[in-house]
DNA sequence: GTCTATATAGCGATAGAC
DNA sequence: GTCTATCGCTATATAGAC
């Protein structure tokens, strides 16, 4: 686990990219192998089944989210602002892992759905101390979910109607006031 | 259009149900025909292709959403409260149509994605007069998106971590105060 | 560890009987 | 208007050479 083979990571990267850019349906083992520059047999040496391939994505997500929660709790602008700002996808590794996992979940993968629920729970635990009550926590979590949802729908290429720049700043200010006063 | 054949509606209901309960991947023409109690040939008489079947769902959604917007603007508790409350899926026809369309959109259907964008735009137009600025409008829309996103993930059967009852009332109060003051 | 070749199964769609 | 039968394609997965 401490020294993952390079080819394995390359395959996982390719699978993730296809999931994000072309959707779950296009993310076949054939297409993944081609994009990763290996044969189908080569891919199947590292991931014995499609299920194993999907588990690889989920595993990657779990690893990234722990770092993210740590960064969140120590962020200068505050956990809530950091959390909302990072909810709009900037193509960071963690954003890509979440988006890919969301695609798998929508495709019917139960492990992927469970993983996303787990991620959400970890975030909620980190945000809870900054909200004055449960409704405030719900508000922050739902705005974040909404941002991800719009990213997930807009398919990675077409920009969704997601607030950016000054609009994002205004939204964060609005939320922070609502959950404090 | 005024007198749709019964079998056609039955097929559409079955397709919608499978999309919601088992995901886009399971919603094959074979499975749909079986669930609707017709043969594949019989299904193909009403819907000549899978694309036509998907278009049927989108059409149904478009019809339902116009009624919903009308109900929203005349709701006693106000448009925002009505909108947020109806964003948590209660298995109403419109909720089912949205969820099914969302599954198709995630599966890569462009018409489905376009339809969802259109629905969101209609809602935003109805909410805009009740928000003091664009950030407030963003807030309401994103909370609604977040509610739908959680419904979409929890697969229609397992209840997601969505506020209900008193928690929902508190959330609505919080949002209404934030977008007014 | 990576390859080619192939088995197996399921999908969307067609043809034509009733 | 609904059926059965079947074609053509593509997906996952296996077998075995190198």
A37 is a domain residue: yes
The answer to whether position B44 is within a domain reads no
Of A108, A142, A178, the CB nearest to B23: A108
Residue A20 within a domain: yes
Confidence category of residue B181, pLDDT binned at 50, 70, 90 = confident
In the prediction, which pLDDT does A146 show? 93
Give every residue of chain A whose pLDDT is below 50, as ranges.
156-159
Rounded to whole angstroms, the Cα distance separating B74 from B94 reads 18
- Asked if residue A1 is part of any domain, the answer here is no
In this predicted structure, what is the pLDDT of residue A162? 86
Residue range B12-65, pLDDT digits in tens:
999 999 999 888 999 999 999 999 999 999 999 999 999 999 999 999 999 999
pLDDT in tens, B117-175: 999 999 999 999 999 999 999 999 999 999 988 887 776 544 457 899 999 999 999 99
Chain B touched by A7 (CB under 8 Å): no
Rounded distance in angstroms from the CA atom of residue B141 to the C1' atom of nucleotide D12:
41
Instruction: In whole angstroms, give the CA distance from residue A7 to residue A44.
Output: 11
Q: Is B111 on the interface with A (CB under 8 A)?
A: no
Tokens of B122: 């209609």
**Alpha-carbon distance B111 to A89, whole Å?**
23
Alpha-carbon gap, residue B101 to B33, rounded angstroms: 19
Confirm if A64 and A93 have CB atoms less than 8 A apart.
yes
Q: What is the pLDDT of residue A78?
A: 96
User: If you average pLDDT over residues B2-15, what whole number do you get?
Assistant: 86
Total tally of structural domains belonging to chain A: 1
Whole-number CA gyration radius for chain A: 18
On whether residue B93 sits in a domain, the answer given is yes
Q: Cα separation of B102 and B57, whole Å?
A: 11
Q: Tell me if B152 is assigned to some domain.
A: yes
Chain A residue with the nearest C-alpha to that of B115: A153
Phi, psi of B158 (to 5 degrees): -70, 125
Q: List the CATH number of the domain containing A22.
A: 1.10.357.10
B176 near A CB under 8 A = no
Number of CB atoms found within 10 A of residue A70's CB: 11
Half-sphere exposure of B63 (CA within 13 A, CB side): 10
- Give residue A113's domain range: 6-178
pLDDT tens-digit map of B76-127:
999 999 999 999 888 899 999 999 999 998 888 999 999 999 999 999 999 9
Q: What is the pLDDT of residue A158?
A: 45
Please report whether residue A84 resides in a domain. yes
- The rounded distance, in Å, linking the Cα atoms of A5 and A10 is 9
């Amino acid at each position: 686990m401490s020294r993952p083979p390079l080819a394995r990571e390359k395959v996982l990267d390719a699978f993730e990219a296809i999931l994000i850019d072309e959707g779950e349906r296009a993310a076949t083992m054939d297409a993944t192998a081609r994009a990763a520059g290996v044969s189908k047999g080569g891919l199947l040496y590292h991931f014995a089944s499609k299920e194993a391939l999907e588990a690889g994505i989920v595993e990657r997500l779990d690893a990234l989210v722990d770092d993210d929660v740590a960064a969140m709790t120590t962020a200068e602008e505050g956990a809530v602002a950091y959390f909302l700002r990072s909810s709009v996808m900037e193509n960071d590794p963690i954003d890509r892992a979440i988006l890919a996992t969301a695609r798998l979940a929508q495709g019917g993968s139960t492990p992927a759905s469970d993983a996303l629920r787990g991620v959400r729970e970890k975030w909620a635990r980190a945000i809870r101390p900054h909200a004055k009550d449960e409704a405030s926590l719900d508000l922050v979590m739902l705005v974040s979910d909404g941002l991800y949802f719009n990213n997930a729908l807009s398919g990675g290429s077409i920009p969704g109607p997601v607030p950016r720049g000054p609009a994002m700043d205004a939204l964060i200010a609005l939320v922070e006031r609502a959950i404090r006063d």
